[in-house]
Structure 1
Amino acid sequence: NRVSNSQQYVYILKFHLSTFLLTEVKVYCSCSQVWTVSSGFCFVTFSEHTNAVTALHFMAGNHCLLSASLDGTVRAWDLFRYRNFRTFVTPTPKQFVSLASDQSGEVICAGTLDSFEIFVWSMKTGRLLDVLSGHEGPVHGLIFSPTNAILASSSWDKTVRLWDLFEGRGGVEKFDHTHDVLTVVYRPDGKQLACSTLDGQIHFWDPLQGLEMYAIEGRRDIAGGRLMTDRRSAANSTAGKCFTTLCYSADGSYILAGGNSKYICMYDVADQVLLRRFQITHNLSLDGVLDFLNSRNMTEAGPLDLIDDDRSDGEEGVDKQTQNKLAYDLPGSKPNHGRPVIRTKCLRIAPTGRSWAAATTEGVLVYSMDESFMFDPTDLDIDVTPEAVDAALRDYQPKRALILSLRLNEDTLIRKCIITVAPADIPAVASSVPYKYLQRLIEALAELMENCPHLEFILHWCQELCKAHGHYIQQNSRNLLPALKSLQKAVTRLHQDLADTCSSNEYSLRYLCSTINKK
């Protein structure tokens, strides 16, 4: 998740509709990676693109993923067989920066960076159906209405256009703005359209009446830290004070907005008020995090970190100057000086509305209202993987396997490691568990107590754990109280169930014995 000084990562996110898969795209690596949000692990990487991946879209059937790239192709990926089964191209090479599909999944649309056109393909045949012209700037936003086949597009030409792809050709309507439009989204019910502009405002439109409903002024809310190259304070700087990504909530009551800032803003749509600001990082190695810069690092020539202090009379200095000159001579290229800037590239809310994700310079951040949804590894290292847990179990190393699973903090692996320990090895394994993992292990035993049929085995685990760490549990009872209460609740409930069963069996046995004696 860290970003080096020599290479910057930008991410695009999409939520899967049923299994909540999260897709992360490393643009400069030109590959698409699909992650399981609940565990935080990547299970497939698609690397057929030869240039930056700029947009993603899950199809309505949830078994196909679309990706658009600057290499001039839109590719369809099969999430069952993990292969590229269809590639959409244009007669002449184009650079695609936006992507959308209708509700039926039969029409694919992609917006371009260079020719300012929107290309329309058939999903079944792969044929190019239409080319929509009219924009005079890069088409960076595309989205279909959730209720009909109207396509909304936003462009740097300060307009949002609506296109009817089936019943009429060309734009249905055009919404003009005073500044460049950076992105556009539909409300889930299709009765409202939101778009952000370069002046830091979010405009809300009624797509049926073609009228602007209201606008949110977000320049002060999105204002972040001060960049190294800024000669003004963060409050007086105009750079980056705009939203580049928007996302409605599942019910459309609030909207998330992010951009080139360390903040993500949540607004109430009906009242147009700021509900909350999320600070995505406190990492001081990223640019734009500090509110005030150290004036001692500022010189007449600029910030000290941006001044090249290498000797120019040596071979290394000459070589470096030559490389920098060549880099500046290449069209569209610029050498990377200083630190990467903190930014939020994309925001997506899960269909359930209980969680949302942000693709940032710091990494992919997942926020959730459910504690069970959170993936919170403890003391994670490059060697701590599910494969390492399986290898330890195969080599019959129960101590190592259990500690690795606790460090990963994944429920299925922890339960697997507990069950596979032989009863004779439980005292040794229980005594080897570090103190910082005790709470997690007690929680796992409480869950197993309610679901696992091996009651005596789990009770043996609890007994040995109390014997080995009883003193620590007694001293830290306040911190361990929630886990201990869960375990006590599970034991009490099972005790009541077993007591009723045993009483019933006792009466049945007495009746049978009395019947046999009479005979």
Structure 2
Amino acid sequence: MIFDLVKDFADVLDAMPEDHPRRRILKLLDEAIRRDVHFIDRHPTTFFQCLWNTCWWYDCPEVAEHYDAPQGGWSAAGPPWENSGPNLYELLELWREEPSRKSIWLRSLRPPPQRLGGQQQATFRSHVKGVCSVAYSPDGRQIVSSSEDKTLRVWDAENVRELATLRGHSDFVKSVAYSSDGRSIVSGSYDGTIRLWDAQCGAALAVLRGPWGRVQVYSVACSPDRRRIVSGFSDNRVRVWNLESNTVLAVLRGHESNVSSVAYSPDDRRIASGSLDRTVRVWDAESGAELAVFRGQNHAVTSVAYSPDGRHIISGSADVVRMWDAESGAELAVFRGHNHAVTSVAYSPDGRHIISGSRDGSVRLWNAGSGEEPVVLRGHEVLAIDRVSYSPDGRRIVTAGGDDKIARVWDSESGKELAVLRGHEGGVNDVAFSPDGRRVVSRSNDGTVRVWDAESGEELAVLRGKRR
């Protein structure tokens, strides 16, 4: 029932004019319900308690001593408790005085860490341990998350409802990805298996395992044509799987340590892999033949990515980003500027820029043609950037700051910080844009996945779900 109410609020707000005098109050109530929707679903009698402990603290006089001004200061109207219009706390007082309200409830004596009307709009809770990986479905309607609790969970990205819990792995689920048509989910686990799931109903479609014993799966990726999966393992091998027969097409041998990252070329013909053995290797996706070995890194390779045209590969290692000719393996450029290990690299959608995140706490934006470093993005108060990602249109970048519990959105041209996404209670390890660029999804060690409005920074949902 509570999820129906969430949908009703969404429908009303969509139909209501932006300047309607009651829209602000309704939007705040909608946000408050979304924050605790999974808890209310499990404990319906706490509905008023949850509303009170979030909404009353929005604009009551007592709240002034608890909240600092947001980044950039308050709007021209001033802080909520100085608003001369209808007050949310007065509405809650009226509801509390209704004769029909007889149930016992717990009143919080302090406001929530994240004020209502701020950047956080909702939390998706369900995992009982840290979240390892998140991904949007290609149509942006679903989110899948994987966790140290050995499960995957599929969520409705709009109404925050948990659609399915995918059980079967017996260890951390390290990596997760959607097929390009969105119909299947693939997951890789420390239990040594890769599992294929139906994205709609959550049914287990296949378990991919081999006779090589218990080795850990570090990374997985789906081919653009949806026919194959590539996976990187702790036994130094890359394995390519046929999704029709669920068999291994090829075992790519050559790495001398764990394979930390894998990627398909845009045309499906090549696979790139990065390893702790300090090399990047390129393989023929059909035959499994090793086509090139890129050497030159003095430290482990943590991340690899293809350029959109497939001509170049970039890799992150130590404090540098390297660009390689994808065919010959020739080193084309070394981008220097970081002073600690590079943890994540990515191309802009148009291929003109490269972004890199590092344990030095900075994100750097490079000109892919000249190697010039036009912008350095600083703001995370940690010594590690765990993930960087471009929006589909290339205009924005989102970064995960690891232990500072924050994700940030930046203008990719100017480097201006557009939004600070606060709400997680543990380190933020992964971030990504939705396919339409309107949403950001983040995952954290606090066991939650959160969805944000990419434009305003508002939190739209917190994925918690039911604990079984």
What's the counterpart of residue 201 of structure 1?
320
> Per-residue displacement from partner, 1:481-506 (whole Å, max 9, x unpaired)?
xxxxxxxxxxxxxxxxxxxxxxxxxx
User: Greater RCO between the two (CA within 8 Å, min separation 6)?
Assistant: 2
**1:86 — aligned with what?**
206
Q: Are 1:56 and 1:67, in contact at CA under 8 Å, matched by a contact in 2? A: yes
Q: Do the aligned partners of residues 288 and 358 (structure 1) sit closer, same or farther apart at CA in structure 2, a change above 3 Å counting?
A: closer
Q: Which residue of 2 aligns with 1:44?
A: 164
> For the residues of structure 1 that align with 2:427 and 2:332, how far apart are their CA atoms?
29
With the length of structure 1 as denominator, give the TM-score of the two structures. Answer: 0.51
Aligned pair count reads 301
Cα–Cα, structure 1 residues 262 and 8, in superposed 2: closer, same or farther, change >3 Å? farther
Paired residue secondary structure (2:224): coil
Q: What's the counterpart of residue 336 of structure 2? A: 217
CA-to-partner distance for each residue in 1:212-249, whole Å, 9 max, x for gaps?
A: 222322424xxxxxxxxxxxxxxxxxxxx323233333
- Offset from partner CA, 1:403-455 (integer Å, 9 cap, x none): xxxxxxxxxxxxxxxxxxxxxxxxxxxxxxxxxxxxxxxxxxxxxxxxxxxxx
Q: Find the aligned partners of 2:205 and 2:190 in 1 and give their Cα distance.
A: 19
| Cα-to-partner distance string for 1:370-396 (whole Å, 9 max, x where unaligned) | 44x95447xx999xx9xxxxxxxxxxx
Mapped to 2, the partners of 1:43 and 1:218 lie a distance apart of 44
Offset, 1:40: 4.5
Q: Once the 2 structures are TM-superposed, how far is the Cα of residue 194 of structure 1 from its aligned partner?
A: 1.4
What corresponds to 1:346 in structure 2?
A: 430
Percent sequence identity over aligned pairs:
22
For residues 30-429 of structure 1, the aligned pairs below 5 Å read 30-93=150-213, 94-113=215-234, 115-166=235-286, 168-176=287-295, 177-197=297-317, 199-220=318-339, 241-258=340-357, 260=359, 264-270=363-369, 271-273=371-373, 275=375, 277=377, 279=379, 289=404, 344-353=428-437, 355-361=439-445, 364=449, 368-371=453-456, 374-376=458-460
Please say if residues 247 and 256 of structure 1, whose CA atoms lie closer than 8 Å, have aligned partners that are also in contact: yes
Q: CA 1:263–1:200 in structure 2 vs 1: closer, same or farther (change >3 Å)?
A: same
- In structure 1, how many angstroms separate the alpha carbons of the residues matched to 2:355 and 2:376? 10
Looking at structure 1, the residues matched to 450 and 334 of structure 2 have their Cα atoms a distance apart, in angstroms, of: 28
Q: What residue identity is the alignment partner of 1:174?
A: V
After TM superposition, give the deviation of residue 24 of structure 1 in Å: 2.2
3-state SS of 1:29 partner: coil
Contact 2:135 2:176 (8 Å CA) reproduced: yes
> In the alignment, what sits opposite 2:95?
none
Deviation at 1:72, TM superposition (A): 1.4
Task: Please say which of residues 131-140 and 242-251 is displaced more in the overlay.
Answer: 242-251
Higher helix share: 1
Letter in 1 for 2:188: A
Structure 2 residue identity aligned to 1:22? I
Equivalence for 1:234: none
For the 8 Å contact 1:248–1:349, the answer to whether it is kept is: no
Paired residue secondary structure (1:82): coil
Aligned to 2:135: 14
Name the residue aligned to 2:390.
none
More divergent stretch after superposition (171-180 vs 250-259): 250-259
- Residue identity opposite 2:443 in structure 1: A
Letter in 2 for 1:152: A
Aligned-pair distance for 1:162? 0.5
Worse overlay, 186-195 or 32-41:
32-41
Q: Residue type of the partner of 1:85?
A: L
The alignment partner of 1:103 has SS state of: coil
User: In the alignment, is the contact (CA less than 8 A) between 1:75 and 1:86 conserved in 2?
Assistant: yes
Residue identity opposite 1:208 in structure 2: E
Are 1:23 and 2:23 an aligned pair? no
Q: Distance in 2 between matches of 1:142 and 1:287?
A: 22
Deviation (angstroms), 1:119:
1.9
- The Cα of 1:41 is off from its aligned counterpart by 4.6
CA offset digits 1:331-369 (Å, max 9, x no partner): xxxxxxxxx997553343444455544434465465654
Please state whether the residue corresponding to 2:134 is helix, strand or coil: coil
Structure 2 stretches lacking a partner, 5+ long: 1-122, 383-400, 406-423
Q: Distance in 2 between matches of 1:381 and 1:54?
A: 18
Distance 2:124 2:202 in 1: 27
| Unmatched runs of 5 consecutive residues or more in structure 1 | 221-240, 291-339, 386-519
Q: Is the 8 A contact 2:143 2:156 kept in 1?
A: yes
Contact 1:95 1:112 in 2 (8 A): yes
SS for the counterpart of 1:143 is strand
8 A Cα contact 1:39 1:375, kept in partner: no
Corresponding residue SS for 1:203: strand
Q: Quick check: 2:440–2:454 contact (8 Å CA) kept in 1?
A: no
Deviation at 1:50, TM superposition (A): 0.8
